[in-house]
Structure 1
Amino acid sequence: MDDQLLLQLFILTVIIFIVLMIACPPFRSLFYKEHPNELNPISAEEFVVRFEQKMPNGVLEKELRWKELLEKAWKVRDFEIELYWKRTNYFWLFQVPAFAAYFLVWKNDVSNDKPDELFVICCLGIVFSTGWLLINKGSKSWQRHWECYIDLLEDRYYGPLYKTVGLKSSYSVSKINEIVSCAFIFVWSLFAVKFMSENNITICLCSNSEKFKPFIAFTLFFTSITLLSMFKGYGRGYFKGRNITFYKRKVTYKKGDSE
């Protein structure tokens, strides 16, 4: 595609994006959502009351229900840890092919001006690595959520098992994983800057039109709005009130033919 036509298409895309961000709230929510601020802290007594008001009246029945709640917290916590590692392996499957593609293109192209596709691979690497970092954080937060239940309930039945530790300090697996994902973000960003520097590319349209590449601008634009959506928009999870509606569907019974 001609660079001039691609430049016009890029400018039109940016204008449409800005107009939609201003005029269309559903579209804007994909990239920016306001914090609902609907959560209120509760005391330890309120925590107990919120559960006991849904429990049987008998003392033994209540104790059994609390024990079931503790066991469920352990099971869901273990399930979250299992999902954490599955998600980590999932993102390794993105990183390895991305690096392979990058170095394959770099090795096969002997000219000084590397193909623009190399920059696309760098931006994809940044997106994958950022997604990896945020999913690590999200998975860890749910694991912590269930650990809070365990901390509150375990003393009631078998003592401070989870709160009693044998080491003063250790290494955090999840935090090291986050550091690794941040390292990947840095490396991919370094590759992207290296590409733009070696090819003498500018991202400012007004500075030097000859050095401005619309294809690179498109790639940067879509990478930026993808990251914005992850951090501040659709990818951001907020707890707030929810309206739930169910619908019934029609089911008819058809008698089969007898043999």
Structure 2
Amino acid sequence: MTEETTTKEVTPEEYATAFKGKESEALKQALDIRKFEIELYWKRATYFWTFIGATMAGFLAVQSSSAQNKQDLAVILSCLGMVFSFAWVCVNRGSKFWQENWEKHVDVLEDKVTGPLYKIVMSRNTMRKFSEKAVHLVTGPSSISVSKINQIISLYVFCLWLCLLGYSLPEFSLESSVNWFYVVLLSLSVASCILFLWLGRSYGGGYFHTAKLRKSRVKNG
């Protein structure tokens, strides 16, 4: 049995028809998956922080050592840190995409179930006195996106590794011989980053499903 699935734009009317009578269950599922995506987001952040932190510790240890292959090790660690940090940038953006996907479902589905609870944002009254504004500036809340801050940090770490890579490489000179080890290492690192953007995207096209039914029976004695 083969089933062909195609991708097409869904109109507001088609969206409403698809979930008609099932808004409550759909909203519950969207909220649960959104919560799951947020949990995964921070688990992934911990994963990348562990590897990037270990790589940074290794880089600093190499810089303070007197090893003969100090420069080679520094370049290797810089490339490793660059690839991991760029992967972190891409993973952050991907996680944010799917988190927002479920948030948009909640936005549309909640009206008929709970009302616009998720869409209405409650905030403090406007501060009028200078003292109140000063206290609010220091200890008050602010509409800052935690995930966007994390994305900016990951981008900063990636740029930092680029700087460390430039610092670790030998001074460029047309008269110097080509260090093919560095060329191959840099090419692999850049190619990996390009593959993240090219092949790492979620597939949005159609699928052809294949199903097989396994038969089982008790053998006659």
TM range (shorter): 0.7 to 0.9
Query: Does the alignment pair 1:149 with 2:122?
Result: no
The answer to whether the 8 A contact 2:71-2:168 is kept is: no
Matched residue type, 1:236: R
Displacement of 1:39: 4.7
In the alignment of these two chains, the number of paired residues is 198
**Which moves more between the two structures, 168-177 or 82-91?**
168-177
Which residue of the partner structure matches residue 9 of structure 1?
Answer: none
Matched position secondary structure for 2:208: coil
Q: Deviations over 1:146-195 (max 9, x none)?
A: 11111111111221101100249611111100110011111110011111
1:194 equivalent to 2:151? Answer no
The 3-state SS of whatever aligns with 1:244 is strand
Partner of 1:178: 151
Alpha carbon RMSD of aligned pairs, Å? 2.3
Q: Which amino acid aligns with 2:156?
A: A
By relative contact order (CA 8 Å, sep 6+), the higher-ranking structure is 2
- Tell me the TM-score normalised to structure 1 length: 0.70
Pair 1:230 & 2:196 matched:
yes
- C-alpha deviation, 1:250, in angstroms: 5.9
Match for 2:205: what amino acid?
K
Deviation digits for residues 215-245 of structure 1, max 9, x if unmatched? 100101101110110012x212231101111
1:220 to 178, 182, 186: 186
Contact 2:63 2:70 in 1 (8 A): yes
Paired position in structure 2 for 1:164:
120
Query: Relative to structure 1, is the Cα distance of residues 166 and 219 closer, same or farther in structure 2, using a 3 angstrom cutoff?
Result: same
Q: Percent identity?
A: 36
User: Counterpart of 1:116 in 2: which secondary structure?
Assistant: helix
Aligned partner letter, 2:15: F
- State the AA in 2 paired with 1:43: T
What TM-score does the superposition give when structure 2 sets the normalisation length? Answer: 0.81
Moved over 6 A (4+): none
Read off the aligned partner of 1:230 and give its amino acid letter: F
Letter in 2 for 1:87: R
Q: 1:201 to 1:212 in 2, by over 3 A?
A: farther
2: CA distance between counterparts of 1:251 and 1:181?
53
Asked if 2 retains the 8 angstrom alpha-carbon contact of 1:201 and 1:213, the reply is: no
What is the CA-CA distance between 1:50 and the residue it aligns to?
A: 2.8
Q: Report the secondary structure of 1:122's partner residue.
A: helix
Confirm or deny: 8 A CA contact 2:45 2:88 kept in the other structure: yes
Q: What's the counterpart of residue 83 of structure 1?
A: 40
Residue 44 of structure 1 pairs with residue 29 of structure 2: no
Letter in 1 for 2:204: F
